Chains A and B, each alone.
Chain A
Amino acid sequence: MSPRRADLPLGGDATRRFIPLIVGAMVYLAALALAGTFALDGTVQQWSDSLRGALTVQLPGVAQAPEGDEAQARIDAAVGLLIEIPGVLSATALPHEQSQALLEPWLGAGDLPADLPIPIIIDVSVDAGARINYEQLGQRLEEVVPGARINDNGVFLARLVTLARVVQLVGIVVVFIVAVAAVSIVVFATRAGMTSHRDTIELLHLIGARDNYIARRFVTHALSYGLAGGILGLVLAALTLGALALAAQGVDQTLLPRLSLDLTAWIALLCVPLASAVIAMVTARMTVLRALRRLP
């Protein structure tokens, strides 16, 4: 005797084959969208931090040795002006080698011609709460060092941060849409199961089964395909992320923001199959209980 054989043979219909695959595809999309959102989060945070208290001043380069008097005079003049400005915490010129290194992605790593005027970069730290009139500061710098220019990183970074936040929002919307689609699929699958097993359900009802007893059969079934599909989707998503990480290794890191997942992100991704199982279970239960209310 096998008294635990299911009285509702839900696994025997078409949902057994197709629903786990569909749920897997949903979880795959949700996991990728979630991974993208989390990966951007660190970068956005980094950019946001950069927004506060940092700007650079670029002075025109001189076609002579960097330690030359002319170059040093420009640096001294600009730094002297900058540190007088209320709110400026420090102003330091980047060493010539560092300025050269910044150009390497475009000009290569070889020795640059000595007469190439490499711009002088001054890294300025600013009090985050300071209100500095950058337009006026630019004019004053222009007076002491003609051709000096303030690179207001803030504007550029702010746009980047906004873009990244929008991308993150899109990721969350994708996760939401996928969840709604998953709920719809579970409702469809559950209703299909109820229709194909209508006689059995009616019999169980007539011999005294409570609604919960019948719903439990569907919930257990939903748990199995929700979990199976969830794990399938997560494994595929992990493989995809691994492949992307591998492909990114071959790209110059200076051209890409640092995209990585921290522990929280990995935990969240691991929760996706569980979430898909829970969504499937709750949806199946609600669908069945609602339908059973039509029986006397």
Chain B
Amino acid sequence: MRYGHGPEVLRDLTFRLTPGSFHFLTGPSGAGKTTLLKLMYLAQRPSRGEIEMFSQNISKTHRRDLPPLRRRIGVVFQDFRLLDHLTALENVALPLRIAGARRERIEAHVSELLAWVGLAGQINAKPPTLSDGEKQRVAIARAVIGRPNLLLADEPTGNIDLAQGLRILHLFEELNKIGTTVVIATHDRSLITTFGRPELRLSNGQLTLHKAPSVMLDDDAPVGAPDTESDKRA
């Protein structure tokens, strides 16, 4: 994967995530974690190689067929990417609105989820009035509101305290238990230690697995296996 005519940020990565798996993605700054996540949430197409997700070859999928796939992916962006003119509730409701959900469903689900992440009293607040931690929780609620098949989070606990971070991670675990594949990019070693989930470590363009019962790397990963959730080569 390269941007424009620049050097390749990622190369020769081959891995497959088993559906329902839970991984931390780690690595030094600039190692390509965000680029890898961008490829996974379909914000970028690989300059070469293939990505297979939800049994579809993304590299060959027409762009008009990508939106339904994106709706199956929840993303927590590092910079939150909340819409400042919308309330917390409206921000969280956005994926449901886009998916064409009924108003009753939106109201019920969003209020409940915001209460769960501790923002029951802030549902009508707009992002500029929220603290970074609160924005983070709104962003997380927006990522999980549609019960995605794949949840990708880029430093989701970077702006919240430890207790709140653990609470959010427990939410991710709950989603994982009902089948959502989770990948969390983080620098927080304590989270990795606490949750004891396998770690995908990205360094010098190489991806290595640590404590990884549910992930296969490189040549061990047969492409196109029936249980493939997300398969990436870049």
Contacts and interface: CB of A to CB of B under 8 A. Distances in A.
Interface of A: 1-3, 5, 7, 9, 12, 199-200, 203-211, 213, 293, 295-296
A209 B98 contact: yes
A74 B75 CA distance: 103
* Majority DSSP secondary structure for residues of B touching A: helix
A200 B142 CA distance: 14
Contacts of B98: 204, 207-209, 213
Interface of B: 41-45, 63-64, 66-68, 70-71, 75, 81, 83, 85-87, 89-90, 93-95, 97-99, 103, 106-107, 123, 142
A296 B42 contact: yes
Given A1-B90, A206-B41, A12 B71 contact: no
Contacts of A5: 85-86, 90
B226 to A, nearest CB: 25
B44 A2 contact: no
A210 B67 contact: yes
A2 B90 contact: yes
Most-contacted residue by chain B among A9, A206, A207, A296 (CB, 10 A): A207
B42 A1 contact: no
A206 B89 contact: no
A207 B86 contact: no
B63 A206 contact: no
Contacts of B68: 208
Given A208-B99, A209-B98, A296-B63, 8 more contacts: A1-B93, A3-B90, A3-B106, A7-B83, A9-B85, A200-B83, A207-B71, A293-B63
Contacts, number: 63
A7 B44 contact: no
Contacts of B90: 1-3, 5, 7
A5 B106 CA distance: 14
Nearest to B124: A1
Contacts of A204: 94, 98
Nearest to B96: A3
Q: Lowest 4 CB-CB distances: which A-B pairs, in order?
A: A208-B71, A208-B70, A9-B85, A209-B98
B58 to A, nearest CB: 10
B97 A7 contact: yes
| Max chain B Cβ within 10 angstroms of own Cβ: one of A203, A208, A210, A211 | A208
Nearest to B145: A207
Contact of B95 (A200, A208, A211): A208
A178 B93 CA distance: 42
Contacts of B71: 207-208
Contact of B43 (A3, A199, A296): A296
A5 to B, nearest CB: 6
A296 B42 CA distance: 7
Contacts of A211: 64
A3 to B, nearest CB: 6
Contacts of A205: 70
Nearest to A211: B64
A296 B66 contact: yes
Given A3-B93, A3-B103, A203 B44 contact: no
B146 to A, nearest CB: 8
Contacts of A206: 41-43, 70, 75
Nearest to B45: A296
A203 B107 contact: no
- Identify which of A7, A9, A211 gathers the most chain B CB atoms within 10 Å of its CB: A7
A288 to B, nearest CB: 15
A5 B93 CA distance: 11
A280 to B, nearest CB: 23
A296 B97 contact: no
A14 B195 CA distance: 50
A296 B41 CA distance: 11
